[in-house]
A and B are shown apart, each in its own frame.
Chain A
Amino acid sequence: DVKVTQSSRYLVKRTGEKVFLECVQDMDHENMFWYRQDPGLGLRLIYFSYDVKMKEKGDIPEGYSVSREKKERFSLILESASTNQTSMYLCASSFGSVGQPQHFGDGTRLSIL
């Protein structure tokens, strides 16, 4: 089975802090994704990566950055956390070939105070 592991299930940080969310997958997937999930808005893509050291902006990249130094690990960084970044963050990965499903981790519920 595909395993996508997010480092924290719950995280509480303060406004202005730099926050790191980590994601690791064990299936040698080329693609990795970061989403946030908010009630009524569904899943929104923040950033994605097709390969090591490559990154692409998604639909809502403002206030976020990412890092992919190794194929299995994709980090989401909140440069200076704000209260409107309180959300559920979901990491996903998939093979790079056409028509492959994304597999998700169990999410990190992040609260910014």
Chain B
Amino acid sequence: GESVGLHLPTLSVQEGDNSIINCAYSNSASDYFIWYKQESGKGPQFIIDIRSNMDKRQGQRVTVLLNKTVKHLSLQIAATQPGDSAVYFCAEKMNYGGSQGNLIFGKGTKLSVKP
């Protein structure tokens, strides 16, 4: 909820600009990545995912880029709107036995959109 955004890196953008949110993931064995959006008082909402055999995937106004060489994931939001204000965090799934669906979550970035 409202306390989720405390102590997080913050990105402040002007309405209409593009936003880029970055995430460094931890394990080169990870094979699946997800971006979530969490608004105040709500649970995390799935935005977009990407598998490790891809380096780019596009959704509606969002693009995820994966750079496996440097273990970096980014979320690009086109024409950012006030409704995009939220905490965004990435999650990775490592590809080894016993972790069929378990994810490792990043701490998140707070996106603030100025009207």
Contact = CB atoms under 8 A, between A and B. Distances in A.
Interface of A: 4, 31, 33, 37, 39-40, 42-43, 45, 48, 50, 58, 88, 90, 94, 96, 98-107, 109
Contact of B34 (A48, A50, A101): A101
A109 B3 CA distance: 11
Interface of B: 1, 3-4, 6-7, 31-32, 34, 36, 41-46, 49, 51, 89, 91, 93, 100-103, 105-108
A104 B1 CA distance: 13
B107 A50 contact: no
Contacts, number: 64
B40 to A, nearest CB: 11
A101 B100 contact: no
B32 A88 contact: no
6 contacts: A39-B4, A40-B7, A99-B49, A102-B46, A102-B101, A106-B41
Given A31-B101, A48-B101, A99-B49, A39 B3 contact: yes
A109 B103 contact: no
Contacts of A58: 102
Given A31-B101, A37-B4, A45-B102, A101 B107 contact: no
